[in-house]
Structure 1
């Protein structure tokens, strides 16, 4: 029993226990696809047969657009790179961009939403106008403009990662800002906040201890969905030529763009692997986000309880809940 309680505290495990039917299938499928993506990203140096920028081995050059063979399972690109290796290494580039982008956007978005919602006044009005203006701007166009302003186009690994991450961050900040601000505006009128003010608690303590902890409960859902959107934005930047140079890192969008002319010539093996990698990774994270979003619906939890409860539980469920159960003090 104690072990089960410890496992239930892990967010994904807790939601997995709550899920039923289609929701559980979506969540499990998303977890499997995302786990594969993380394994490839973390262990790319050991899984990939070659480096992302390797053009030759002991036998000589790999050759351009070589078909799949025993030496190159997915063939080689027009530039002479091993397709399988660049596809695996591309997961590492994607995860680095996603981590940096989400950390920056979550921290900045939460802080701005907390300050705007709690202080109100001209600060709130100014931040809301700025956030709405950014949110109304086309996402990809804004990312392109920021990427050009930071790196001037293609760049090395970390400059390219930071350029892509910052461009994605600018797009994501208004989302976290709006969600957190709305929650803060609602929470700051609650009784426990008023009680903290009465006893003389500092404003900073009320904001960061009492309000912030209760205003970020829905953020894991947004983070999961934004992770998939970050990968799509990164791939779009690379596809349009504003990503990372191929000699500095492997990037799925760039490899997909370079393979367009190959497909017209009947060379299919250079386009399918990066395209499938993008689709499966985005699909996995989206399924997790949608599964968690469905589990946030109280009607689903009610259906799950209804399928597992005994007749005695059904009778008890029909009785009004006590004030203690609702978290109130009698």
Structure 2
């Protein structure tokens, strides 16, 4: 009894059970580097979006200060570290305020698409029949449609192409949600079809559990394990879609909110004239934000795989063992010299070989 208590593993602290901290402690090597880099970039993006009113030196639509107008296409200076745009806006301020717009669109679009896609996929995969066939056809038709073109059509239908901050955010979120719902639907439906044939689901049916209880307690919990990866990938795609809408002129009006795609559109003529600062910083913000979110998603997906999750523990247990072979009577473990280092007339102990019976 005493030995059992002594060998019992210590209870994990609360900080070790947190999702990000737990995954970070599991990571190792290049995988940890990717996760840390992604968390830093994503955290910087979220921090900037939350504290944009404090970090931005000017408003997103401010054209002048107490000294007068900012001026058009002014190069970087002490007053404007990133210069000014062709419209006279401060590039640094609009780049910072653009993080807030992107975060609002991500939250609205991904949350809407997750709820709709997960619900439809769960119902379709569990009940099947004619409802499943109809939903599959509809979602496949939407999924086959070009996503950016569908987002443009939805933005025009909802807001006429341009609108205020919340109108533009809602229009972009709904248009992006329509594109992403089929992705969540297909993933959840496939997992639901697989899970509902498992023995524990059949046992729950035999015990008299209702369909709603089985769907929520047994199927949904196991079918949503891949959602973190899809969530992060769709978050980065939402930023690119929003930037594409703004770049093509179907985004948010510049007087309503700052949006990176719109700023890139207005900077096209500047690039050919040697004015590089108006396009560099909004484009760099898009690249770094998408890169950070993607790195986090890919790292979490690798760590969620049980085959990769135990690499750290296996590496520690293996140590410097070179080769392992199973022989009659036990396991033959060779030392650093390997099995090929054995010579006639020499003992196993001289080569660091241990025989376990």
Same fold per superposition (TM over 0.5):
yes
Q: Aligned residue for 2:140?
A: 132
Q: Aligned residue for 2:274?
A: 266
- Paired with 1:31 and 1:130, the residues of 2 have a C-alpha distance of 36
**Aligned mate of 2:283, from 253, 275, 281:** 275
**Aligned mate of 1:82, from 86, 90, 97:** 90
Q: Aligned residue for 1:326?
A: none
The 3 A distance-change label for structure 1 pair 194 and 29 is same
Report the Cα offset of residue 3 of structure 1: 7.9
Report the Cα offset of residue 161 of structure 1: 0.2
Q: Does 1:15 align with 2:23?
A: yes
Q: Does 1:303 align with 2:311?
A: yes
- Paired with 2:22 and 2:229, the residues of 1 have a C-alpha distance of 14
**Aligned mate of 2:76, from 61, 68, 75:** 68
8 Å contact kept, 2:302–2:309: no
- Paired with 1:77 and 1:109, the residues of 2 have a C-alpha distance of 40
Q: Does 1:92 align with 2:100?
A: yes
- Paired with 2:140 and 2:72, the residues of 1 have a C-alpha distance of 48
Residue-by-residue CA offset, 1:273-324 (whole Å, 9 max, x unaligned): 100000000000111111122223333234322212267xxxxxx99xxxxx
- Paired with 2:12 and 2:84, the residues of 1 have a C-alpha distance of 49
Report the Cα offset of residue 152 of structure 1: 1.1
Q: Aligned residue for 1:151?
A: 159
Alignment of 1:1-12 (within 5 A): 4-12=12-20
- Paired with 1:175 and 1:91, the residues of 2 have a C-alpha distance of 25
Q: Comparing 250-259 with 260-269, which one deviates more in the overlay?
A: 260-269
- Paired with 2:21 and 2:235, the residues of 1 have a C-alpha distance of 20
Q: Aligned residue for 2:264?
A: 256
Higher RCO structure, 1 or 2 (CA under 8 Å, sep 6+)? 1
TM-score (norm 2): 0.84
The 3 A distance-change label for structure 1 pair 44 and 272 is same
- Paired with 1:104 and 1:157, the residues of 2 have a C-alpha distance of 18
Q: Comparing 98-107 with 14-23, which one deviates more in the overlay?
A: 14-23
TM-score (norm 1): 0.91
Q: Comparing 287-296 with 17-26, which one deviates more in the overlay?
A: 287-296
How many residues were matched structurally?
313
Report the Cα offset of residue 206 of structure 1: 1.5
Q: Aligned residue for 2:230?
A: 222
**Aligned mate of 1:190, from 198, 206, 212:** 198
Question: What secondary structure is seen at the aligned counterpart in 1 of 2:278?
Answer: coil
- Paired with 2:99 and 2:10, the residues of 1 have a C-alpha distance of 37
- Superposed CA RMSD in Å reads 1.7
Q: Aligned residue for 1:161?
A: 169
Question: What secondary structure is seen at the aligned counterpart in 1 of 2:172?
Answer: helix
Residue-by-residue CA offset, 1:178-210 (whole Å, 9 max, x unaligned): 111111111111222222222222221211222
Question: What secondary structure is seen at the aligned counterpart in 2 of 1:309?
Answer: helix
